[in-house]
Structure 1
Amino acid sequence: MSVLLGPILQFRGTAKNVYSLSALVVQPLGDPQPGVTPPSGVTASKPLALADIPLLAPKQRVWRVDFSIKQAKVATTYTVEIAGQQANFVVPPSGQSPRMAYVSCNGFSDPKDMEKVDRNNERWDDMWGAHQHQPYHLLLMGGDQIYSDEMRLTVPSMKAWFARSFAEREKAVYSKTIESELDSFFSRLYLERWKQPEVARMFSAIPTIMMWDDHDIIDGWGSYDEGLHGCPVFQGLFATAKRYFRIFQQQLIQPAPSQATPGDVHPCAIAGTADGFHLGFTGLGDLALLVPDLRSERAPDLTKPVFQKTRIISATSWTALYNWLDQLKNHRHLLVMSSIPVGYLDLQAAEKALDLVPGRQELEDDLRDHWRSLPHRDERKRLIMRLLDFASRQRCKVTLLSGDVHVAGACVIESKLTQHGVDGAGTIYQLISTGVVHPSPPALAVYFLETLGAGQEQIDYAITGTMLPLGARGRYLIAARNWLAIEPDEKDKSDKDRLWVNWHVEGSEHWVTQVIDPVKHVS
C-alpha cells in the first residue's frame, strides 16, 4: 500500500466543543482502502472515496477520513495514522481563539519567476520552524493554492487555442481532446505541487481552510469580456478546474462525469447561496470566520445593455451571506477572507505609469480584477457598508485578510458616521499577505504603485480608506515573500480579544507587526 499524496488536513467546523477535521490521501487505483488508526479521544469515520482521478482516465483514488474530537480545557496534540502516514496536529482549548497562519500565492505564474528566488519553498520552511516553537491551529489559504498558468505551454490543445485570435477562440468547440488534456493537467498539477516536502509537511500538521482565486482556474478568471468568458472552451476549463477544486481544496465528493446528481456539501457551507463555495465558521473562541467565494460567480453583468459592469458575487449569494452575518451572535471578532484586497492602493491611478514599467505584466490581472476597479465599486461599497453596520450593531471587530497582489501591506477603512460609533466598530483593518512562494513585482513597479496609488481614498461620505506605513522605513508595500501569523493575546488576560498580527518576511530578522484591538464594550 502506498500514498501518493497526503494526509492533507482540513478544518470542518466546531459545534458544542466538538472539533471536526478531515484528512485527504491519494493512493494508486486498485490499492486497498486505507487503514486508519486514531488515538484515544478521536473518533474516525470509515474512509470515503471522493473521486478516481484523472476523472476521464482514472489512475489514482482520492480518499477522505473524517475526525471528531471533544475539545479539552488545554491545548492537546493528536497523531492520526492513515495508510501508514502520520498527521500530527494541535486542537486549541475549548473557548480559546485559535492561533492561525495565513498564506496565498503558492506557486509561480511564469517559469522565469523561479529564477528570482533562492529556494522555492523557503517561507514554508520558515512557517514550519515557527510552528515547532509554538503550534498553529489553523492554516488559512486565501487563493492561488496552485498556478494553472503553465497550461498555455504544456497542454497541447490549449496552447493551440491560445494561439488563435479572440474571435476564433470564442467560436472554438470544447472538444473531447481539450477536456481530456485539461482533466489530466489539473490532476497532475495538484499531485505535483502539493507533494513537495515543505508544503506536504505543513498540510499534515495544521488543518487548512482554503478558498480559490483566479490562478486556481486561469489568470484573471471572471474579468474577461462577455464573449470570451462565456465561450465553450473557457466554460469547459472552469468546469474542470471546479471539479478538482471540490476534490482537493474542499475535500468533497466529485460525482462521475456521467452522473447528474451533485456531490456532498461542506458542513460549513452558507445556506441559500446561488453557486460557489461560500463558507462560514463560528465558535472559534471569540472569533468567527467568513470565507466568500470570489471566483465561482464572477461574470459580466448581463443585466446591463452594454458591457459596463461585472459582478463578483450574485445578488442571491450576497443575500445569503448577509443573512449569515445577521444571525452571527456573541463573537468579538469577525475575520473575512477576501482573496483580493477590499482596501488597497488606487491601481487606476497607477495604471498609466505601469504601462511604462518593465515587468508590469505581473500586475495586469490585479488591474482588471481588483475591488477598486470601476466595474466593482458599487458592489464593494455595499460590502463595506454592511460590514461596518454589522460591526456597530454586534459590537464586533471586523478584519479583512487578503492575498493575490504579490506584496504585503495594510489598509484601514474608517467611518466617522454616527451610527458606527467611535469605540472601534467603525474601523476595519485590511491585512494583505502574499506570496508564500510567488516573488514580488520588480522594485520599480512597486515604487510607482506606492508613489501614485497610496493616497487616502474617499469611499463614501465620512468613510475613508488609507494605506498604512509598515516597518521601520515607512513603506506601504513589503516587496518580499511572506506569510502572516494571527495570534490572540495570550499574555494579557485582561484583553484576550486583542490580536497580534505578524508578517514573517523573507530576508528580514524581525517581524512586521500590527496590533488589532477589539471593539470596546460600554457597560
Structure 2
Amino acid sequence: MSLLLGPILQFRGINSNVYNVSALVVLPLGASSPSVKVPGGVTASKPLATADIPLLNPQYRVWRIDLKAPQDQAVASTYTIKIEGAEANFVVPAEGQSPRMAYVSCNGFSDPKDMEKVDRNNERWEHMWGSHQSKPYHLLLMGGDQVYSDDMRSNVSSMKTWFAKPFADRRKAAYSKVIEADLDKFFTRLYLEHWKQPEVAKLLSAVPTVMMWDDHDIIDGWGSYDEILHSSPVFQGLFATAKRYFRIFQQQLIQTHPHLKPSADTHPCAIPDTADGFHLGFTGLGELALLVPDLRSERAPDLTTPPARPTRIISPVSWDAIYAWLGKVKAHKHLLLMSSIPVGYLDLQAAEKALDLISGQQELEDDLRDHWRSLPHRDERKRLIMRLLDFAHAESCKVTLVSGDVHVAGACVIESTLSRHRNDGSGLIYQLISTGVVHPSPPVLAVQFLESIGKQQEQIDYGITGTMLPIGARGRYLIAARNWLAIEPDEDSTGKSRLWANWHVEGLKHCVTQVIDPVKPRAEP
C-alpha cells in the first residue's frame, strides 16, 4: 500500500440531516487516484487532488474525498470507509442529537528538552482512544498548535542563519528562494511526520475534526512581535508558507502553486464576508452551535504608538461578519466558542509590565502579549464579551468558551449581575481551558506564581466580573498536568439540556468535572 498519511477526517457541517465529512490522504506523486469503498447509504465524491507537495518541488499528492452520511432519525450510525485499503470508522449522531465532543490543544513540544519531562509522548492520545472505544465521540475539536514549527530555528539552515543575524539585518533581509524552498520542505515534513504517529493517526481516522490554528502552527508568538519584525519580508513569507499548509492539511482546501493566488475553494462552513482568515460557524448540531474564529490571520499593529506591536486580533470587517452570523443563530440551547487563547484567564499584566523592564525576554513577552487580557487587546475583548452576553440573553442560549494554549487545565466564569441577566443564567459564561495533550505543563515555580494571582477577581466592566474557579486539588485554580477535555450532552431526560465538561488528566483516576446548565426558558407573558 502506497498510502503515506491518512485518512484524516474533517467535519464539514450538517445539511438537511446529512452529515458532511471529508477524508484527506497523501500518496506518492504519480500514483493513481485513491480507491474508495463506502457502505450503503453513504455517497463519496470522486477523489479530488488538492495539492502537490512540497509545492516548489513536488514529491507527494494530497487527495480529498467528500462523504455524505445520512443521520438516522432514532439512533447513532457507525460508518466504515475504506480508502486505499485503510479504514476510517466514524459515528454519526442521530438526527437532533447533540454531538459528544473531545477537545485537544498543544499537540507537540516547543523545545526538544520538554520530551525529557514526559514518559510517553502520546499517552493522552492513547487514553482518549480507550475512551472513544468505550463510548464514541462524534467530533474532535483541535484548538491550536496541531503541529509545532519551533525547531525550524535550529533545523532549517537558512532560517537558523536568519535568526542569528542582528535585529536590524533580520528586518531588511529578503525572503529568498532558498528560504522559501527550505520552509516549503519543512512544513511538508512537519505535517507528514507528526500526524502519522500511530496514537494520533488512529483518532484522526475515527473522529471527524474541526481544527483552528494558533501561533506554533506558524511560529511561536506569531502576531505579538514588534511591527518592524512582524512585517519583515522573511516573517511575512514564513506566514504565507505556514498558511498554505494550514489550508492543505487543517482545512483540507485546494492549494495551487505558491506564487499563484489561493484557489477559490473555501470551507463549506466558512463565515461569509470576513476580511481574511478562516472563521468557521456550525449550526444544527442538535441543541449546539459552534463558532470557531481565526485569532492569528488578521493580527495587525497600531502604527501610531511606538514601538508598534500588533494590537488587533480580528479586523472590524470580520467581527461584523461574525456578529452577523451570530445574529442568525436561532433555537439553540448552547453556543460553544473555540477561542485558541482563553478569553477568561489569569491577569498577566503585572508580569508583562515587569518584563518591560528586563531586556532579553522576547519569548516570554510574546506569550504574554498574545493573550486577550494583554492591555492592547482589552477593548476588543470587552466588546466580544458584551456581544456574547447580549446574544445569550436575546436567544436564551448558554455561551461557553473552550480554549488551550497555556499548558494547564483550568476554568473561569465571566458573570454579569446586570438586571436582565440575573434570573435566567444567560449572564454566566464559562471558560474551559484544556491544554496540552502532548506538551508538558510549565515549571513548578511558574505554576506557583500563576496560582498566587488566581484568586484575584477581574472587574471587566460595571456589573461584569471574571473569576477563576477552584477546580484543582486543595482548592487550586490550575491543574499542571497534560489533559484532554470531553464535552458531553446529558443523555438523561432529567438533565434538561445540560453539558458535562470532563477533564481527563494524566495521573488522575477520576475526571475533573464542570456542569454547564442551559439558560432558563423565559416565562410566557
Q: Work out whether the TM-score is over 0.5.
A: yes
Match of 2:188 in 1: 187
Gaps of 5+ in 1: none
Match of 2:370 in 1: 369
Please tell me whether residue 83 in structure 1 is matched to residue 84 in structure 2. yes
Q: CA 1:311–1:386 in 2, change beyond 3 Å: closer, same or farther?
A: same
Q: CA 1:279–1:109 in 2, change beyond 3 Å: closer, same or farther?
A: same
Distance apart, 1:259 and its partner CA: 3.0
Please tell me whether residue 175 in structure 1 is matched to residue 176 in structure 2. yes
Distance apart, 1:106 and its partner CA: 0.1
Distance apart, 1:256 and its partner CA: 1.6
Match of 2:329 in 1: 328
Q: CA 1:207–1:151 in 2, change beyond 3 Å: closer, same or farther?
A: same
Q: Secondary structure at the match of 2:445?
A: helix
Contact 1:490 1:496 in 2 (8 A): no
Q: CA 1:320–1:304 in 2, change beyond 3 Å: closer, same or farther?
A: farther
Q: CA 1:350–1:225 in 2, change beyond 3 Å: closer, same or farther?
A: closer
Distance apart, 1:450 and its partner CA: 1.1
Distance apart, 1:364 and its partner CA: 4.5
Match of 1:22 in 2: 22
Query: Over the residues paired in the alignment, what is the CA RMSD in angstroms?
Result: 1.8
C-alpha distance in 2, partners of 1:113/1:87?
32
C-alpha distance in 2, partners of 1:399/1:25?
33
Letter in 1 for 2:295: L
Deviations 1:148-168 (A, max 9, x none): 000000000000000011111
Contact 1:254 1:263 in 2 (8 A): no
Q: Answer with 38-47 or 494-503: which moved more.
A: 494-503
Contact 1:121 1:198 in 2 (8 A): yes
Q: Secondary structure at the match of 1:473?
A: helix
Match of 2:205 in 1: 204
Match of 1:12 in 2: 12
Deviations 1:118-176 (A, max 9, x none): 00000000000000110000000000000000000000000000001111101000000
Q: CA 1:513–1:362 in 2, change beyond 3 Å: closer, same or farther?
A: farther
Q: Secondary structure at the match of 1:385?
A: helix
Please tell me whether residue 378 in structure 1 is matched to residue 350 in structure 2. no
Match of 1:285 in 2: 286
C-alpha distance in 2, partners of 1:119/1:306?
43
C-alpha distance in 1, partners of 2:420/2:207?
40
Q: Secondary structure at the match of 1:375?
A: helix
Letter in 2 for 1:63: W
Letter in 1 for 2:67: F
Distance apart, 1:452 and its partner CA: 2.6
Give the TM-score, by structure 1 length: 0.97
Distance apart, 1:471 and its partner CA: 3.4
Identity across matched positions, percent: 76
Distance apart, 1:366 and its partner CA: 2.6
Distance apart, 1:197 and its partner CA: 0.3
Q: Secondary structure at the match of 1:245?
A: helix
Match of 1:221 in 2: 222
Deviations 1:479-521 (A, max 9, x none): 0000000000012x03341001100000111110000000000
C-alpha distance in 2, partners of 1:353/1:201?
44
Distance apart, 1:402 and its partner CA: 0.1
Match of 2:115 in 1: 114
Q: How many residues align?
A: 520
C-alpha distance in 2, partners of 1:126/1:45?
33
Q: Secondary structure at the match of 1:484?
A: strand
Gaps of 5+ in 2: none
Match of 2:296 in 1: 295
Please tell me whether residue 101 in structure 1 is matched to residue 102 in structure 2. yes
Distance apart, 1:522 and its partner CA: 2.3
Contact 2:26 2:60 in 1 (8 A): yes
Deviations 1:407-432 (A, max 9, x none): 00000000011233421100000000
Give the TM-score, by structure 2 length: 0.96
Q: Secondary structure at the match of 1:413?
A: strand
Match of 2:312 in 1: 311
Match of 1:273 in 2: 274
Deviations 1:419-456 (A, max 9, x none): 33421100000000000000000111101111034400
Q: CA 1:308–1:25 in 2, change beyond 3 Å: closer, same or farther?
A: closer
